[in-house]
Amino acid sequence: MKTIGIKEIPVSSERSELDFDMNRLADNMPIIESIKCQRCGELHERSEETYMTVYGNVCVGERGGILGGGNWSANGVPVNTFCKMCLVTFIENQG
């Protein structure tokens, strides 16, 4: 027993049955890679076709870019991910 204040709390060095079950469950669970929409935050499984990925810039006419970045040599090629409808809505709102 370990005393904290006036309460005694049992301290065990053994793993509980719950700990064992959770570890066994975690060992058997698949790892799912996901992509997060930059507009709404929804997660999409990487293997599904429910999201759009934009590599580079998206520009509106001559006024400039609405997605991406200006300095590719310093920052690399910009990559943006959206739900399909979030991308459409984002572009519509830029016009």
Question: Which tens digit of pLDDT belongs to each residue from 11-56?
Answer: 555 555 555 566 666 677 777 789 999 999 999 998 899 999 998 8
Q: What is the reported pTM?
A: 0.59
pLDDT at 2 over 80: no
Number of domains in the chain: 1
Please state whether 84 falls in left (phi above 0), alpha (psi between -120 and 50) or beta: alpha
The pLDDT-based confidence of 86 (bands split at 50, 70, 90) is very high
Whole-number pLDDT of residue 91:
85
Range of the domain at 89: 2-94
pLDDT in tens, 60-76: 788 777 887 777 888 78
Does residue 86 contact residue 37 with C-beta atoms inside 8 Å? yes
pLDDT at 3 over 60: no
Does residue 79 contact residue 53 with C-beta atoms inside 8 Å? yes
- Phi, psi for residue 55 in degrees, rounded to 5: -100, 125
